[in-house]
Structure 1
Amino acid sequence: MTYPDPTLFGHDPWWLVLAKSLGIFAFLLLTVLAAILIERKILGRMQLRFGPNRVGPHGLLQSLADGVKLALKEGLVPAGVDKWIYLAAPIISVIPAFMAFAVIPLGGEVSVFGYRTALQLTDLPVAVLYILAVTSIGVYGIVLAGWASGSVYPLLGGLRSSAQVISYEIAMALSFAAVFIYAGTMSTSGIVAAQNDTWYIVLLLPSFLVYVTAMVGETNRAPFDLPEAEGELVGGFHTEYSSLKFAMFMLAEYVNMTTVSALATTLFLGGWQAPWPISIADGANSGWWPLLWFTVKVWLFLFFFMWLRATLPRMRYDQFMALGWKILIPVSLGWIMIVAITHSLRDQGYQAPATAAIGLAVAAVILLALIGRRRLRARRIRPEPVRPAGDGAFPVPPLPVKDRALEDADV
């Protein structure tokens, strides 16, 4: 297994940096084209109907045909828009989606025309925080698109998207904290190297579950696609967009799906490392093979996105916000406390059984506190029993306090 040397980053010749950038760009574009087609096929099969099957053999050219159709459509600009912001919003959405992939490790060290280089454009000591920052910028494109459209429903979609990002990025960042504690670094290549023995999906399963939920909400995908809920907002933030401007929003959505899937692979599934028992074979984690394992893992998450879209109905907005603030964030905080305590005890020399017992005790205390708080809150808001009418035949709702006082005075 050949992990990239950190000193390799920043010393590649210009042509190799350009080749890596073009390779990442081509990888993302081809992934988007394939994901759109495969999603329509999967949705068709899950809903007992045919997917695309007319354009090309077995419908394989349908995504290309859709792209050409969007490019040839007339680009309309409504009269009431703020033109420059309206035109800049799709660009602001799509550029950060590509930038975030710069620090994702696609493989270990390889040789390209005699140069030893890593299958990663670059790495940073705070690479994961860089991904969070860049993906946060992408939401500005959605917010500005809704505001600049000069219409009520796109504006509501933009506001919903900003609320989603604030709510679910907190839970997402908290899920990263446990990974940082175990790996001892925020570098993506360092996190992959730290999972050489055991993947973090095994050690940090609650963090993984929180992240998977948060990444669906972060990318505005079903059942969390409330910024573009066509049943109530017509089309949401991109209602007033057409032609290539609309295509750029769709491109940003699928690239963001690929980015969060690649980040989940890097943080919890060992990155580009081969799964067991393939990892036992000699050379499974060397050369260009890791690129294959990385791509397979990313597509597993993309299939999960598609499966959710075909299975679950759209949530109500109050349910969606309650899930983020009342469940994911408290669970993440409690889990970070457990991870920090058990990790510090292990560093001080305590054996694994004792550490696990203390961790379970802390988890039990937190769980009991949450259950007690929930019961106390339910007792406080217990509704008043319905008072029967004078003859006891028809129950009536509780009377207001003022009316009840007057009724008692009359009596």
Structure 2
Amino acid sequence: MAETVGQVENFVLLEHVLLFSTDIGKIFAAQIFWSDHQQRVAEPVEITISDAENEAFATDVQGSFRSFAIFTRDGTVLTSNQDRLMGLLRDHQAPDNLFTRVPALQHRGVISVAFGDYHFHALHSSGYITSYGNEPQACGALGLGGHGDPEGRLRGIRYQGMGGDGRLVPHAYTEGRRVWFEEEKRDWIKFLTAGGVDAEEASQRMRMALGTPDVRCQGEVSEWIEQQGRDWEAKFGLKSEEDDELGAYFALSVTAAGWHSGALVLVNEDLAAKVQAACEVRDPSLPAAEAEPEEPEAAVAEDASSSLLSNAVSTALDYGRWFLGLAPYNVPAPQPHGGRNATAGHANNHRAEQIHVPRDYGDSPREGYKYVWASEHFPRLRLSNGVEMPGEVPFDEWRYPRPEFDLGAGL
């Protein structure tokens, strides 16, 4: 028995299946029968992983609820679920699609995988987390943006149905979508989803990337965004003083359950502060004295409920205008060519209907400063099929080579 099975090193308990790994590189699964009539565990069945020697030697198994992952000695990570296992456990016949090989997990230093009901995260040895799967009702479980907002779409989530269930575009499984912890990154992507420096010029590209049934444009633009967000410190020429090649945020562990996710993250506060400062420049439109106030002024307290209602209504109006291809209220509309009173009348009506001026995400939270991207436009790319995104601005270059997308590998 010890020669054919080995000594158990790790095990996971799924809803109806027990899985365990042994010290001789094998994985076994056993179906659990638990009812009023019987409580037993069936004889374990060996799971054949691969014919390749290195890939066939399993080093670990991880999982929860209905999903699991198998790690092999050569750095391969195979994902599956208990439904696919049932054919093997009942008929001793493994299906052809027993395992999924997500490209972004292969030989990428994956340490652990945490599964929720419909999503999962991978923790990489370099200290970052990637997300995969679906999030019900736009709950934010993927950690890429939630509540159906445009930021989530720009990260590669497609929201569907009345409930707004989110599903990652297939492009996201080639290189993965990393969870961001930097507030500046969130402000940057909100700035882009507001249209960048010129929302009117970008309106066609925004609809093309975020509001069409075709996933190609959304997938490739979200990959471009992913590359820009990668190595955020290097983008601004910053490294930690110890030169340990660690970022400002280093994930130590990740967990998931149900529709929830969590992570334990080590923060290099000095480096994080330097990165935040590198993202800011003094607002050139303000006098120097105003840009650097000596004493902070007391903020005027607002009624909380009134402010919340105002923000909610304004945000809803802006998203509605964005969906229709109109500029948000904080972007000047083109002036009509009508009579001499048209401009004044338009301005008065604009002020009357504007409940709240949404925040300009080109402005830094620090008074008198703007973000360095305040003059950037919504990305304009040449897509892999030769289509050129419309616009009057130059085409954007990829920070790294554009990946060769394997659109079926992660499904």
Whether TM-score is above 0.5 comes out as no
Which range, TM-score by smaller chain?
under 0.3
- The structure with more strand, counted as a fraction of residues: 2
TM-score normalised by L of structure 1: 0.21
TM-score normalised by L of structure 2: 0.21
**Higher RCO by CA contacts (8 Å cutoff, separation 6 or greater):** 1
- The structure with more helix, counted as a fraction of residues: 1
